[in-house]
Amino acid sequence: MAKAAKLGRRVSSHDHITAFQEVTEVRRTYGEVDYLIRVEVADSDAYERFQGEQMYALSAVRRIVPHPTMKFTKSP
């Protein structure tokens, strides 16, 4: 299951986020949020654990807005 999360603030611990094995893509963005992070986990429970135990453990993370996907319609 792939999910994308947006962070509401600049993340000073960028290296920690890119080191997580669940994180498959990180993009710096313009606008209201600073990063778009693609996370691949087995299911919703695994995502909830990842978000609570790893992402929110980082002091720079203030807000996460998940956007779960239904399916791939085109992949690279």
Rounded to whole angstroms, the Cα distance separating 16 from 13 reads 5
- What CATH code is carried by the domain that includes residue 61? 3.30.70.920
Domain total of the chain = 1
Residue 23's DSSP bridge partners are: 39
Q: Which regions of 1-76 does DSSP assign to beta strands (E)? A: 2-7, 23-28, 35-40, 64-68
Q: Is 75 domain-assigned?
A: no
Over residues 19-63, the pLDDT tens digits come to 999 999 999 888 888 888 999 999 999 999 999 999 999 888 888
Rounded to whole angstroms, the Cα distance separating 11 from 45 reads 24
Rounded to whole angstroms, the Cα distance separating 7 from 47 reads 15
Range of the domain at 57: 2-68
Rounded to whole angstroms, the Cα distance separating 69 from 58 reads 25
Q: Is 6 domain-assigned?
A: yes
Q: Is 74 domain-assigned?
A: no
Q: Is 46 domain-assigned?
A: yes
Residue 8 has pLDDT above 60, yes or no: no
Q: Is 33 domain-assigned?
A: yes
* pLDDT for position 42: 93
